[in-house]
Amino acid sequence: MHSIPIGVLGASGYAGRELCGLIAAHPQCHLAFATANERRGQTFRVRGGSRVHDIHMIGHDEAPLGDAALVFSALPHGASVEWVGRVLAAGAKVVDLSSDLRPGRGGSTHPLPDNVPAQVPYGLPELFREGIAESPVVANPGCYPTSILVALAPFVRAGLVSPDALVSVAAASGVSGAGASPKAELLFAEVTENFRAYGAGNVHRHLPEMTDSLHRLGGSFDLLFTPHLLPVDRGILSTITVPLAAPLADPMAVLREAYAHEPFVEVTDALPALADVVHRNVVRVSAVTVQHVRTPTLLLFAAIDNLVKGAAGQAVQNANLMLGLDETAGLPL
Amino acid sequence: MHSIPIGVLGASGYAGRELCGLIAAHPQCHLAFATANERRGQTFRVRGGSRVHDIHMIGHDEAPLGDAALVFSALPHGASVEWVGRVLAAGAKVVDLSSDLRPGRGGSTHPLPDNVPAQVPYGLPELFREGIAESPVVANPGCYPTSILVALAPFVRAGLVSPDALVSVAAASGVSGAGASPKAELLFAEVTENFRAYGAGNVHRHLPEMTDSLHRLGGSFDLLFTPHLLPVDRGILSTITVPLAAPLADPMAVLREAYAHEPFVEVTDALPALADVVHRNVVRVSAVTVQHVRTPTLLLFAAIDNLVKGAAGQAVQNANLMLGLDETAGLPL
Amino acid sequence: MHSIPIGVLGASGYAGRELCGLIAAHPQCHLAFATANERRGQTFRVRGGSRVHDIHMIGHDEAPLGDAALVFSALPHGASVEWVGRVLAAGAKVVDLSSDLRPGRGGSTHPLPDNVPAQVPYGLPELFREGIAESPVVANPGCYPTSILVALAPFVRAGLVSPDALVSVAAASGVSGAGASPKAELLFAEVTENFRAYGAGNVHRHLPEMTDSLHRLGGSFDLLFTPHLLPVDRGILSTITVPLAAPLADPMAVLREAYAHEPFVEVTDALPALADVVHRNVVRVSAVTVQHVRTPTLLLFAAIDNLVKGAAGQAVQNANLMLGLDETAGLPL
Amino acid sequence: MHSIPIGVLGASGYAGRELCGLIAAHPQCHLAFATANERRGQTFRVRGGSRVHDIHMIGHDEAPLGDAALVFSALPHGASVEWVGRVLAAGAKVVDLSSDLRPGRGGSTHPLPDNVPAQVPYGLPELFREGIAESPVVANPGCYPTSILVALAPFVRAGLVSPDALVSVAAASGVSGAGASPKAELLFAEVTENFRAYGAGNVHRHLPEMTDSLHRLGGSFDLLFTPHLLPVDRGILSTITVPLAAPLADPMAVLREAYAHEPFVEVTDALPALADVVHRNVVRVSAVTVQHVRTPTLLLFAAIDNLVKGAAGQAVQNANLMLGLDETAGLPL
């Protein structure tokens, strides 16, 4: 089989660079082009598998979109959807890493191009695999939602969560989740030895894609999501408090059964740590029954690498499905 | 006025060293002795105010307990209460930084010495100042409870928290909270670029002192406490989800009114960050109303330095009260 | 005595904020104004002594220069000298933290204002105290040069360094030395778990002020200076290889004698570490005789906080001298 | 070809775990056993390639030494050589990661077992490949020496270094180089935001293997080696000052020519950074001509991952040669 040409739009950000590395190391694909308007002409060194690769950036307008079988758009929220339209018009498939095509559209009011459908598959294969393989365009989930939905889904589908519950999520992310653009609050001197919440009060733009997905899974409870900024490069840990409809004897069994055949979900008795998941395309989850409370309550913990299973790795997973390849091809387990 | 002699038992741990620094810099006190059995004979360099001080460690048995007006015990949980008895017998006052004399006794079953009362004041002056000044012995609160109780108390006292609520706390602490004894999981290589929960399921030994204090404040709700280990030296951030009995128009006003006259509580619109509080004897708190949920819900954030307001600073605050000094003497605001 | 009004130009950078904190906590001075053109109208929270202070930034043009007895200029290299002229014209004294008035002028070719002398005292009091107190303008040394010159000076003055030697300095600095302006290479994700040299080959703009100072001290050897970027917020450690004219029995004695009466130099047998000096206005130095080499050789180690003894603290030390105050007033030892 | 069985003695340290991961991911080998006396019975999770592997530890005495074709000894210095003898007696080959069999024997005075030769190949293939493939036992170089020797060798071999020079090396290592045993000075709280030298004065036990190797390469100059401890997990950067016999027009050309055919040496114009080399079996080197000095002088920079090219990766490289495999098999480039 000849190698499949793949393009990356917006390749100079952290997710874009991770995509370039994964494609460069992919056994059945190769990188046809990588674009970055502000860094055009520059070369970025990326890791892919156990090697490093030098990636040359061209401008978006220079990209030969039609030469690629599939294009990843890692362009900023709001700006991505227009390029999704151009890629489709050029005859290539597209995985959109922005929130532009996710449920709620990340709050974007940018008009959809005519050739972009209003509803596209939400590419979280472990929960919603159906339809991904057949669609020319897939919306890649947000990093926080990936960790939270994978942990919650088995309990929601089984109707175990109290319908009038408030499910509260305290999540913490490494700074690479905030992007590679220089901002004062992301300087080393501001982040080291520090920790803080942000976007507090349930106002994060990732909320709609989570509530929509939970409704699809049958959940009618409220979700409260509070993100925090960690002094680490990579990784998200979501700590989830779940009031249950009734006591649950063995929550770990629910997780184990749900994900017995999913190669990218690790169900572990040990509480997941960021060090377990960085540079890997996995969600690591664990469940603990809460003691000393009257309401039956569950604690769920989910850890991911925000740039891999939370972005570029999951995008490749979706691309593998869309291209008819093995879902795990080229992905670090 | 002549300077007051102070002793420190267990001075080689992080809280003990912080105590030595605070006392060395205290305008009305001086360090009479500092003990550390395993490090006896060694000298520790500590920060106090804007200077550094060399502190010489003697064995516990060598300490001239009766020469001190007040002794801090920073001995390990379980081992401390016996020395509290000896200090009292020698005629000095004592602030116990261990959990041995807090509500629930930190789970300790070590018998109380005859001269140690079963109930001693819980030294969180902002909430329970009464009785501290008159008592010869005070139990210094835990670091996590200090942050959580200061944030919750005004709402509990005002009856604003739903009585059947589950109040869920996700708290994160720097590694100095785990002590200065070498353990493999506290090595730099294990902690850097990592983050994880521990003691999950509401089983932390700090829980009884929190639930007891909340009952004293009039709360009958359940508390769920989930601690995490941060890759930082110092600091605790507690993120608290509070289901309310009824919608609350201005939660910040509740905090501001409660703490208008407390020099060591900072009520801020900005979400508190660890960098705001390290090396200072303050709790920094903020409140946010949760959007997009049916149950009226509040988010509280509280940040402290676990070694200062969470341990040594608060102990000095209690000592100041017990010695008839200004409560703020010698304390970094 | 009434409090002395002090101004700070360029107060939003790391050195500028440190200056504001030091002046806010200074027992005989107060902050008359703080300027920051790009951040004008904003409020910065700074540490000063054991308190925090909110500092309001005005534009440079709004600054009432003549209201201050002394103004610190923490403006960027090249832009500072013009404001030095304006401050002098307004009748205030000035400490310039830029390299504009240091020997070699940091390579600047910006013309000197008419009222600014071409040669001003180089404000490293421990080496060149003479003339500082009398001058209306003083050039505050660079951070790297402060650490290196204090360590080398006693050996240079005593003629102990081989005249045809190559003295090689490997120095490492925390990122706050690179300033508070957002640059991609200073983002947390780029700096954490990383270490690298920069400006290699003896081309750093701090070189002329070092070679000039060494000549004044009587040194004719060559200096090679290689800076590195550390994944820490603050601190510089300089490791200096010094070929000697002849074997030296007790290099520590040379240091101890030279600095016996200097409150801001700590001569220690233990190798200095960054943790010993951060947030303090000291240079900590140590000397070790090199084994197993034919040429008699010395190793010198010097640690400072780049923002305190390497910038703002030393600037206050100079200001104290210029204002007739005690040299140590308001400075954390 | 059937898979080759490999054993690891001392597998619970950082180098031992890295070895287990590399062997688990090696295309032509598998892990026959892994030993750790104090952690026997425990399971360690290690990374290997893009997967994680659970490694079960048995006691040293339980190891079926004769079942392995080759055994790595990652036992502590002093304790290793006895086990080298046992492995050879059992008929397996052995790569010793300790300093016990390196030139100078790391200062060890432990007697050699009868069946262990006094001189074994020093396994730095890029410099001394000859004899490795044929020897039943190879001494794996130290981490610091690997970085320093690879950088210096081309210049030494070409006679470019001044014979009476003092070559001064300031090297900095991540804490994993100090091992996985809990020590107070390696706790996160002691290392974060800190930096210091150690073992100063040219007394490091790695010195003899460096001076011996330099003599073999034809160098007669003196070497001064000063190690430092970095607040990072992994990586070594060596900064080397080299007085030359004569000016050298193009030092990079010397490096490029020397290593044109070495897959594990990267010669780069950009100064090497730790982030370029972590988790990879490479030495990344660069050379810069020093300006503004009278003696012609070169600066060399070399970066490695201390656990990969500085330990486990290089050990696998040696094992590949000893087993007749491709030298790069199973190694992350």
The answer to whether the beta carbons of residues C13 and C35 sit under 8 Å apart is: no
Query: Per the CB < 8 Å rule, is C186 touching A188?
Result: yes
- Asked whether residue B68 falls in the same domain as residue B177, the answer is no
Phi, psi of C177 (to 5 degrees): -65, -20
Burial of A135-163, coded b for 16+ CB within 10 Å and e otherwise, reads bbbbbbbbbbbbbbbbbbbbbbbeebbbe
Put simply, the answer to whether D49 touches A45 (Cβ < 8 Å) is no
If asked whether residues A151 and A83 sit together in one domain, one would say no
**Are C193 and D271 in contact (CB < 8 Å)?**
no
Whether the Cβ atoms of residue A237 and residue A302 lie closer than 8 Å to each other: yes
**8-state DSSP, D199:** S
Same-domain status, B174 and B94: no
Q: Which chain B residue's Cα is nearest to A189?
A: B275
Helix (H, G, I), strand (E, B) or coil at D261: coil
| List of chain C residues whose C-beta atoms are within 8 Å of the C-beta of residue B44 | none
Q: Tell me whether residues C50 and B276 touch, CB distance under 8 A.
A: no
Does D51 contact A193 at a Cβ distance shorter than 8 Å? no
Burial class from Cβ neighbours inside 10 Å (0-12, 13-18, 19+) for residue A17 reads buried
Chain B CB within 8 Å of residue D111 CB: no
Query: Is the CB of residue A237 less than 8 Å away from at least one CB of chain B?
Result: yes
A192: left (phi over 0), alpha (psi -120 to 50) or beta: beta
Give percent above pLDDT 70 in chain B: 100
Q: Do A200 and B230 lie within an 8 Å CB cutoff?
A: no
Q: How many CB atoms lie within 10 A of CB A117?
A: 12
Q: Tell whether A280 lies on the interface with D, counting CB pairs under 8 A.
A: yes
Query: Quick one: closest CA in B to D180, which residue?
Result: B184
Residues in CB range of D95: below 8 A, 6 or more apart? D70, D71, D72, D73, D123, D137, D138, D140, D315, D318, D319, D322
Give the confidence band of B110 by pLDDT, cuts at 50, 70, 90: confident
The CA distance from D236 to D147, in Å, is 8
Q: If we measure between CA atoms, which residue out of B141, B193, B123, B172 comes closest to residue B15? A: B141
For D90, how many CA atoms within 13 A lie in the half-sphere containing its CB? 20
* Residue tagged active-site, from A139, A143, A172, A244: A143
Query: Nearest CA to B87 among B27, B28, B10?
Result: B10
Which domain covers residue B284, as residue numbers? 144-306
Alpha carbon A18 to chain centroid, angstroms: 13
- Cα–Cα distance, B94 to D32 (Å, whole number): 59
Helix axes A143-157, A251-258, angle to 10 degrees: 110
Nearest CA in chain B to D185: B182
Q: Is D193 on the interface with B (CB under 8 A)?
A: yes
Sign of CA dihedral D292, D293, D297, D300: negative
- Alpha-carbon gap, residue A109 to A295, rounded angstroms: 41
Q: Show the tokens assigned to D43.
A: 């399971």
Which chains pack against A, by 3+ Cβ pairs within 8 A?
B, C, D
Residue C295 in any domain: the answer is: yes
Classified as helix, coil or strand, B168 is strand
pLDDT at A298: 98
CB-nearest partner of D50 from A45, A52, A332: A332
* D90 shares its domain with D154: no
Residue B286 pairs with which residues in a beta bridge?
B301
C223 plus C199 within the same structural domain:
yes
A29 labelled catalytic: no
Residue with structure tokens 């607040």? D231
**Phi and psi angles of residue C261, each rounded to the nearest 5 degrees, phi first:** -110, 15
Based on the fold, state whether residues C111 and C178 are members of the same structural domain.
no
For B18-66, what is each residue's pLDDT tens digit?
A: 999 999 999 999 999 999 999 999 999 998 877 889 999 999 999 999 9
Cα D86 from Cα C111, distance rounded (Å): 76
Q: In this complex, do C175 and A189 lie within 8 Å of one another by their Cβ atoms?
A: yes
Residue C308 DSSP symbol: I
Residues 6+ apart with CB under 8 A from C257: C154
Instruction: Show the tokens assigned to B272.
Output: 């508190």
State both tokens at D62. Answer: 């339980």
**Does A247 lie in the same domain as A210?**
yes
Chain B residues in contact with C331 by the CB 8 A cut-off are: 50
Does A184 sit within 8 Å of C187, measured CB to CB? no
CATH code assigned at D228: 3.30.360.10
Cross-chain Cβ contact C187/A189 below 8 Å: no
Interface membership of B61 toward D (CB under 8 Å): no
| Distance from the Cα of residue A203 to its chain's centroid | 19
Considering the domain architecture, whether residues D263 and D180 belong to the same structural domain is answered as: yes
Which pTM was predicted?
0.96
- Of the candidates B45, B50, B280, which has its C-beta nearest C333's C-beta? B50
DSSP symbols for C247-278 = --S-HHHHHHHHTTT-TTEEE-SSPPBHHHHT
Do C34 and C127 belong to one domain? yes
The dihedral region occupied by A131, where left means phi > 0, alpha psi between -120 and 50, and beta the remainder, is left
SS3 A333: coil
Distance from the first to the final alpha carbon of chain A: 24
- Answer yes or no: is B329 within a domain: no
- Spans of chain C, pLDDT less than 50: none
Q: How many residues does chain B have?
A: 333
Question: Is residue C327 in a domain?
Answer: no
CA terminus-to-terminus distance, chain D: 24
From A289's Cα to the closest Cα of chain C, the distance in A is: 35
Contact A217, A128 (CB under 8 A): no
What is the token pair recorded at A171?
């999540």
pLDDT the model gives residue D52:
83
> Which residues have a Cβ under 8 Å from the Cβ of B320 and sit 6 or more positions away?
B326, B327, B328, B329, B330, B331
Q: Which residues of B touch D232 (CB under 8 A)?
A: 192
Q: Consecutive sets of 10 residues in chain A, 333 residues long: mean pLDDT of each?
A: 93 97 96 95 88 92 97 96 98 97 89 94 98 98 98 98 95 95 94 97 90 96 97 98 97 98 97 96 97 96 98 98 97 82
Looking at the structure, do residues C75 and C152 belong to the same domain, yes or no?
Answer: no
In a domain, B318, yes or no: yes
C185 inside domain: yes
Q: Specify if B330 maps to a domain.
A: no
Query: Does C188 lie at the interface with B, CB-CB under 8 angstroms?
Result: no
Closest CA to C211 of C152, C132, C270, C128: C152
Which residue ranges in chain D fall short of pLDDT 70? 1
A215 in reach of chain B (CB within 8 A): no
Outline where DSSP puts E strands in B174-306: 196-197, 222-229, 236-243, 265-267, 283-289, 297-304
Residue of A nearest to D264 (CA): A51
Across the interface, which of D192, D193, D332 has its CB nearest the CB of A50?
Answer: D332
For D44, name the nearest residue in chain A, comparing CA atoms only.
Answer: A276
> Catalytic residue among B88, B94, B139, B143, which?
B143
Question: What is the C-alpha R_g of chain B?
Answer: 19
Confidence band of B1 (pLDDT split at 50, 70, 90): low
Q: What is the pLDDT of residue D1?
A: 59
Q: Closest Cα to residue A243, out of B166, B294, B197, B299?
A: B166
Q: Between chains, do D202 and C292 touch, taking CB under 8 Å as contact?
A: yes
Is A151:A242 a contact under the CB 8 Å cutoff?
A: no
Q: Give the residue from chain A lying closest to C39, CA to CA.
A: A184
Measured in whole angstroms, how far is the alpha carbon of residue B22 from the centre of its chain?
15
Q: Does C38 touch chain A (CB under 8 A)?
A: no
**Could you give the CA distance from residue B93 to residue B32 in angstroms, rounded to a whole number?**
14
- Is D109 in the B-facing interface, judged by CB distances under 8 Å? no
B220 lies in the same domain as B109: no
Question: How confident is the model at residue B50, as a pLDDT?
Answer: 74
Mutate which of B193, B269, B276 to disrupt the A interface (most A C-beta within 10 Å)? B193
Of D198, D231, D290, the CB nearest to C224: D290
Number of separate domains in chain A: 2
Of B79, B116, B113, the residue nearest B97 (C-alpha): B79
| Length of chain D measured in residues | 333
Q: What angle do CA A210, A211, A213 make, to 5 degrees?
A: 65
Cβ–Cβ below 8 Å for C170 and D200: no
Nearest by CB to B182, from D187, D192, D232: name it. Answer: D187
Question: Who among C211, C230, C297 is closest to D166 (CB)?
Answer: C297
Residue A73: give its domain's CATH number.
3.40.50.720
Task: Please identify which residue in the block is written with the tokens 């432990």.
Answer: D110
Question: Which residues of chain A are within 8 Å of residue B107 when distances are taken between CB atoms?
Answer: none
Q: For residue A330, is it within any domain?
A: no
How far does B94 lie from chain D, in Å, by closest CA?
A: 28
Note whether C169 and C201 are same-domain residues.
Answer: yes
Q: Tell me, yes or no, if C278 comes closer than 8 A to chain B by beta carbon.
A: no
**Residue D315 domain flag:** yes
